[in-house]
Structure 1
Amino acid sequence: MNIWIVILCAVLVLVAVLALQAGLKPARKDGVGSYKAAALMTENERDFFVRLVDALPDHYIFPQVAMGALIVPSSTDKKLAHVDRLRVAQQRVDFVVCDRACKVTAVVELDDRTHQGPKDQRRDERLNQGAIRTVRFQSRAKPHGQAIREAVLGQSSMMAMPAARFANA
């Protein structure tokens, strides 16, 4: 009787191993990995991208830019600089607005329910340290044309607001 229990357990383990192997895809041996295309922007972001392009025809608009392409650590201490680099390594901004010389004019964020105040404030402060102004628009109340242009390019009062938030500006 004990031998049957041992045989039954061995068969069950063998079946489980075979089932797992059948469900797993073989690993690529070339070190490349396995990938598929991702959407660059959501539908909401694409809609706002068109509004930005229309409102700012004399500027370039770049979507989904890595923060590491915009700011770098300023610390001369290598360990602190590494920690600061890691803080922004996986972060992206929604849109970067540049003039025709490709100088950053502003970062534009389209805030929806996934945005969190304290985290956004830290991101804005990091960009502000690099002399990059952040302009935020509410996703549910996206402005058009002239309101976007004034908010992004600013008037003297708006330029002084490093992380201005606009709903229906």
Structure 2
Amino acid sequence: MLDMPSWATGAALIVALSLGAIGVVLNFLFGARVGKYRARALMTDNELEFFFRLSKALPHHLVFPQVSLQALVEAASSDKKTAHADRLRIAQQRADYVVCNPAGAVLVVVELDDRTHEGKRDAVRDARLKQAGIKTVRYPSKAKPSLAAIQQDILGLSK
């Protein structure tokens, strides 16, 4: 081992401890926030079946599942505090399906209502979409419509 003055040994120890402490702090700030995650299915089997039903009924349209409401509407208040509160109201909400024309313009939001849907909350959400000019079509999960009914409801076509 090299002979170092005692002050150098102390300084080296301080530097080593400091670097270790910095590593602990960085791990706490950045590493600890990563958490544990696992993949999950985008749609349930029931939702996937209905996605294919919508796609088949509307072959010349784009159907997107699980779309964030923030991708569809934005807060319109000029007051920053009110606009922020309005954004938070829709921050965690998703539309089951969004149907767009071939150019990508939103035609309608389609909701597949199962036991997780609540009438009052759904009405408020539908009103927010309507305010932005987006129609919502709802179907019961256990009694899904025929292809012709979907076309009629969404496109106004009789088949």
**Alpha-carbon shift at residue 119 of structure 1 (Å):** 0.2
Aligned to 1:75: 77
Match of 2:100 among 98, 101, 112: 98
Aligned to 2:121: 119
C-alpha distance in 2 between matches for 1:38 and 1:126 = 29
Deviations 1:16-70 (A, max 9, x none): xxxxxxxxxxxx8274332110110111100100100000000000000000000
Aligned to 1:33: 35
C-alpha distance in 1 between matches for 2:90 and 2:67 = 12
For structure 2, the 5+ residue unaligned runs are 1-29
Code of the residue aligned with 1:148 in structure 2: it is: I
Larger radius of gyration: 2
Indicate the SS of the match to 2:145. coil
Q: How many residues align?
A: 130
Normalising by structure 1, report the TM-score: 0.73
C-alpha distance in 2 between matches for 1:144 and 1:84 = 36
Aligned to 2:135: 133
C-alpha root-mean-square deviation of aligned residues, in Å?
1.8
Aligned to 1:61: 63
Deviations 1:71-118 (A, max 9, x none): 000000000000000000000010000001100000000011111110
C-alpha distance in 2 between matches for 1:154 and 1:138 = 20
